[in-house]
């Protein structure tokens, strides 16, 4: 149980009992990691907090639910509140460290992981997390110390496409007069279904993105997180039709990470962006960042299938993606608008 502060509101025994009941319900619902169950847990925890807002474990539990649904800012707030209520509650520090890590605040995360390892010296998971975080902090410090190139050229400017040759044995799709065509995209998707690989020359040529307004007078499809699930992406196109001037799409971020076919997903999306620049849109999500890609797998996938330079290029391309789209001047669509239940 938590340590109450001087300004915490009074809570009746009945409210305490009810809050504990909600806590049990939330724990039962969270045995499965399905998204809906995570939402149920957050709802139950909010009921707990409404009945008894003085318990550190409730905030730590909701912080965990927020971490699993990638609402990292909210997770950090709740974890900090948990520590504020009970400065000896280890899970509060653990949740706050995880939130700091997800937000790229590695020094802050290291302090919390250090506290956890001191309190729980036999906790193997805590030691592993501390070690991983410590390596990141040292790596960042080392790179900063040796960094001297303040006029570093863009990755895109350093690539000589004309010097790249396409080998005779390459059987994948080819650009027509240097342009993406519908036939190119169909061949590309078939290539990816067979787990083939697009030639590096065409891969480097993909990220030429331009932000454009969305048409008001037609059907418009908005898609959420793809997360490297290429065959799910193909199923969307099967059910709803391929992108076209008469069938526009907006993919609202989180194209990569987690799934094993993130490269195939993002190249397919980039291809349609080039083919239909005024009818196919892409927003930047929280997984379109170097830190998230290193944590959730895309960085390693790109290096495995192509090169480290390609991975750096993706980080550069992210900066060209818009953060939001406004549909018909009425609906704002963005990955960076968090909401609570």
Q: Would you place residue 43 in the very low, low, confident or very high pLDDT band (cuts 50, 70, 90)?
A: low
Token pair of 210 as six digits: 């331009």
Measured at the CA of 282, the angle between CA 279 and CA 283, to 5 degrees, comes to: 135
What pLDDT is attached to residue 8? 53
Mean pLDDT of 10-22: 66
> Looking at the domain assignment, is residue 4 inside a domain?
no
Q: Is the dihedral of CA 130, 131, 132, 137 positive or negative?
A: positive
8 A C-beta contact, residue 161 and residue 206: no
> Residue 31: is its pLDDT beyond 70?
no
Mean pLDDT of 137-158: 67
Q: Would you place residue 23 in the very low, low, confident or very high pLDDT band (cuts 50, 70, 90)?
A: low
Query: Which residues pair with residue 221 across a beta bridge?
Result: 249
> Residue 97: is its pLDDT beyond 90?
yes
Question: In terms of pLDDT, which residue wins out, 274 or 319?
Answer: 274
What pLDDT is attached to residue 111? 94
Last residue of a domain, one of 85, 111, 146: 146
How many of the other CB atoms lie within 10 Å of CB of 191?
16
Question: In terms of pLDDT, which residue wins out, 146 or 199?
Answer: 199
Same domain, 85 and 60: yes
The pTM of the full predicted model, rounded to 2 decimals, is: 0.56
CA distance 263 to 197: 9
What pLDDT is attached to residue 174? 86
Q: Would you place residue 110 in the very low, low, confident or very high pLDDT band (cuts 50, 70, 90)?
A: very high
Same domain, 92 and 239: no
What pLDDT is attached to residue 70? 78
Comparing CA positions, the residue from 221, 232, 222, 228 lying closest to residue 254 is 228
Last residue of a domain, one of 146, 175, 198: 146
8 A C-beta contact, residue 333 and residue 327: yes
CA 311 to mean position of chain CA atoms: 16
Same domain, 248 and 165: yes
Q: Would you place residue 94 in the very low, low, confident or very high pLDDT band (cuts 50, 70, 90)?
A: very high
Residues with catalytic annotation?
287
Question: In terms of pLDDT, which residue wins out, 247 or 146?
Answer: 247
8 A C-beta contact, residue 255 and residue 264: no
Task: State the CATH number of the domain containing residue 225.
Answer: 3.60.21.10
Domain count, the chain: 2
> Residue 65: is its pLDDT beyond 70?
yes
Same domain, 166 and 290: yes
Helix (H) or strand (E) holding 209: none
Comparing CA positions, the residue from 331, 158, 156, 313 lying closest to residue 250 is 331
> Looking at the domain assignment, is residue 2 inside a domain?
no
Which residue range(s) make up the domain with 172?
156-334
What pLDDT is attached to residue 36? 44
- Average pLDDT for the chain: 79
Same domain, 168 and 138: no
pLDDT digits (tens, 9 = 90+) for 216-242: 677 889 998 899 999 999 999 999 999
CA distance 58 to 78: 9
Same domain, 102 and 220: no
Q: Which residue has the tokens 């290291």?
A: 110
> Residue 209: is its pLDDT beyond 60?
no
> Residue 27: is its pLDDT beyond 70?
no
Token pair of 143 as six digits: 């790179």
> Residue 338: is its pLDDT beyond 70?
no
> Looking at the domain assignment, is residue 340 inside a domain?
no
Task: State the CATH number of the domain containing residue 41.
Answer: 1.25.40.10
Token pair of 136 as six digits: 């990141």
> Looking at the domain assignment, is residue 151 inside a domain?
no
What letter does residue 280 receive in the DSSP assignment? E
The dihedral formed by the CA atoms of 311, 317, 318 and 321, expressed in degrees to the nearest 10: -160
> Residue 204: is its pLDDT beyond 70?
no
């Amino acid at each position: 149980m938590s340590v109450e502060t001087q300004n915490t509101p009074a809570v009746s025994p009945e409210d305490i009992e009810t809050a504990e009941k909600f806590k049990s319900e939330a724990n039962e619902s969270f045995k499965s990691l399905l998204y809906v169950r995570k939402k149920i847990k957050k709802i139950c925890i909010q009921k707990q907090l409404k009945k008894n807002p003085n318990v550190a474990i409730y905030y730590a539990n909701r912080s965990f639910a927020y971490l699993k649904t990638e609402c990292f800012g909210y997770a950090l707030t709740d974890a900090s509140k948990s520590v504020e209520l009970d400065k000896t509650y280890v899970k509060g520090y653990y949740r706050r460290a995880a939130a700091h890590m997800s937000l790229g605040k590695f020094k802050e995360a290291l302090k919390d992981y250090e506290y956890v390892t001191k309190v729980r010296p036999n906790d193997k998971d805590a030691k592993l997390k501390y070690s991983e975080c410590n390596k990141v902090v040292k790596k960042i410090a080392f790179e900063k110390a040796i960094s001297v190139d303040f006029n570093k050229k863009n990755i895109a400017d350093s690539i000589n496409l004309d010097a790249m040759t396409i080998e005779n044995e390459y059987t994948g799709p080819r650009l027509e007069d240097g342009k993406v065509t519908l036939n190119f995209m169909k061949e590309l998707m078939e290539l990816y279904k067979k787990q083939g690989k697009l030639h590096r020359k065409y891969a480097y040529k993909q990220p030429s993105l331009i932000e454009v307004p969305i048409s008001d007078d037609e059907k418009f499809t908005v898609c959420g997180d793809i997360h490297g699930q290429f065959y799910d992406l193909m199923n969307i196109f099967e059910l709803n039709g391929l992108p076209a001037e008469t069938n526009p799409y907006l993919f609202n971020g989180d194209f990569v990470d987690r799934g094993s076919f993130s490269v195939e997903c993002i190249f397919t999306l980039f291809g349609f962006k080039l083919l239909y620049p005024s009818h196919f849109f892409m927003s930047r999500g929280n997984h379109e960042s170097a830190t998230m890609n290193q944590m959730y797998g895309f960085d390693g996938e790109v290096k495995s299938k192509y090169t480290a330079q390609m991975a750096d290029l993706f980080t550069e391309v992210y900066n060209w993606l818009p953060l939001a789209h406004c549909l018909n001047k009425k609906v704002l669509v963005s990955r960076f608008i968090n909401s609570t239940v």
